[in-house]
Amino acid sequence: MSDKAQLAHPAHIPRPPAKISELGVPGALVEDLFIRRLLIERTSTIHQVSTALGIRMSIGRELAEDLRTRQVLEYHGMEGRDYRIGLTENGSRLANDRMAMSTYAGVVPVSLAQYTERVWDQKADMQINRETIRAAFGDLVIEDDLLDQLGPAFLSDGAIFLYGPPGTGKTSLAERMIRIHADRVLVPKAVEVDGQIISVYDQAVHQPAEEQPTDLDPRWVLCDRPIVIVGGELTMSMLELDFDSVSGTYTAPIQMQANNGILVVDDFGRQQISPGELLNRWIVPLSRDIYFLKLASGTKFTVPFELKLVASTNLDPSDLGDDAFLRRLRNKVYVGPITANAFNWILVRVAQAKGIEVTGEAAEYLRGVAIDNIGELRPYIAVDFLDLMTGIASYENRALKLDRYMIDRVARVYFFVEEKPVLDHEPPSSPTPVASARPASSAPPVAAAPSSGQPNPTSVSRATTPDAPAPRATQPQQVRPPTASVAELRTLG
């Protein structure tokens, strides 16, 4: 088990109902699921069918007795202390008729009222300060000023809007915001609305706890608070119920799957739909905490909109909409380039983990190359250069040492240039044999790769121009964790 609490409100764990009337959904729907399940199994025991439907044995017996009386199913003898059952001829016809409307034969859904009550009951009650925020983003390099913007933004109502140049860590921040939560929530496997079934629990979205609470209603799953991340592929259809004509059921939209968690819209403004159209769809949900959905039959209903919406973009905010539009994105957080000290710190940590020798002179030279080509320092430059140099060093049978030659060599393939210039430093005629990589014994841990924009410079000036003055050499120095913007390190294998 993780160190997360078992449940946001442990005293409110739903227990398995003992009677059909306590399930909260129409009895006819439960009966349909029972006979559809039995049609699939052909013959089974009452216990096996009950388990497949997520109901107690007492409800299974109640259903079996009623269906037997109506000659829909028959008993085929005992199996231990249970009955083996199967459909009669009339029961098979009835089950096939029901299958024509829907092939769903899984867990009995919870009612819309039960779902709504559960979502509101699990609304996060957070105590956030700089230390809890810093812990959530512990594998990133973040200045206190940025932390002090993120914390209040997360506590206040409304969406969070992250903006800034490409590759400065906006996506990394958004992905880690879920770590702020220290508890878990219950997610229903399915919800019933007007006799229709909506699947909510999705293994691709929801992370279940390894141990589920004892005597939990099987129709619910204890999960980490969800985070749903969408990017340029987001369409309006993903915000509506998705009807599957084969199964006769619906799949919940992304905002319903993200309830009690976070919904991240990455690359905001690069979707096929306009930013204004997308935000207009969420104006009412953000102000009233509800969202309107409609079944294929025309039935309209509301579901909770209890989530934190996070939008991330590297576009100019003024290109996304007018002042009225931007005003609706109440919490605006700028995520900019990093400082020289932050760049050094990232470079040293990644180099230690990869067993690469780096000097202060090389760090200064690489910073100059980055600034000459993209005008500022971004965290992915340090990571990418070290990744690329390992391949070059292996190919040329050179030692794992970042120096001016290697920086120039990487710059030639990393940046776009009109004409490939001659290297400032030619390799020696007899390459140095590759020394065994010896990572520092106290190398700090590293984390996942940052999102990075594609640099698009027009020259590789300092890295490749022979006449460019060499940066002032500096002695290798200890690099301290900086007060910088956002930087992230790549997992090194």
115-334: CATH, from 3.90.650.10, 3.20.20.140, 3.40.190.10, 3.40.50.300: 3.40.50.300
* Residues 399, 390: Cα–Cα separation, whole Å: 9
Q: Rounded CA gap, 192 and 207, in Å?
A: 22
pLDDT tens, residue by residue, 300-352: 999 999 999 999 999 888 888 777 777 778 889 999 998 898 889 889 988 99
pLDDT in tens, 429-459: 433 333 333 333 333 333 333 333 333 322 2
- Read off the pTM: 0.79
Q: Higher pLDDT residue, 429 or 28? A: 28
Does residue 75 contact residue 84 with C-beta atoms inside 8 Å? yes
What was the pLDDT predicted at 420? 55
As a whole number of angstroms, the distance between CA 54 and CA 411 comes to: 59
Q: What is the pLDDT of residues 106-158, one digit of tens each?
A: 999 999 999 999 999 999 888 888 888 888 888 887 878 888 999 999 888 88
Per cent of the chain over pLDDT 70 is 82
pLDDT at residue number 493: 28
Closest by CA position to 46, among listed 55, 168, 233:
55
- Tell me which of 65-74, 186-195, 221-230, 328-337 is least confident: 328-337
Span 202-246, pLDDT tens digits: 999 999 999 999 899 999 999 999 999 999 899 999 999 999 998
Alpha-carbon torsion, ordered 71, 76, 79, 81, to 10 deg = 40
Cβ atoms of residues 197 and 36 within 8 Å: no
How far is residue 368's CA from residue 419's CA, in Å, rounded to a whole number? 20
The DSSP code for 218 is T
At the topology level, CATH places domain 26-108 in: Arc Repressor Mutant, subunit A (1.10.10)
pLDDT tens-digit readout, 214-226: 899 999 999 999 9
CA angle 101, 103, 108 (to 5 degrees): 105
Q: Which residues contact 290 (CB under 8 A, 6 or more apart)?
A: 284, 302, 303, 304, 305
Task: Report the mean per-residue pLDDT for the chain.
Answer: 83
pLDDT for res 418: 63
Q: Is residue 258's pLDDT more than 60?
A: yes
Which of 32-41, 90-99, 126-135, 361-370 has the lowest average pLDDT? Answer: 126-135
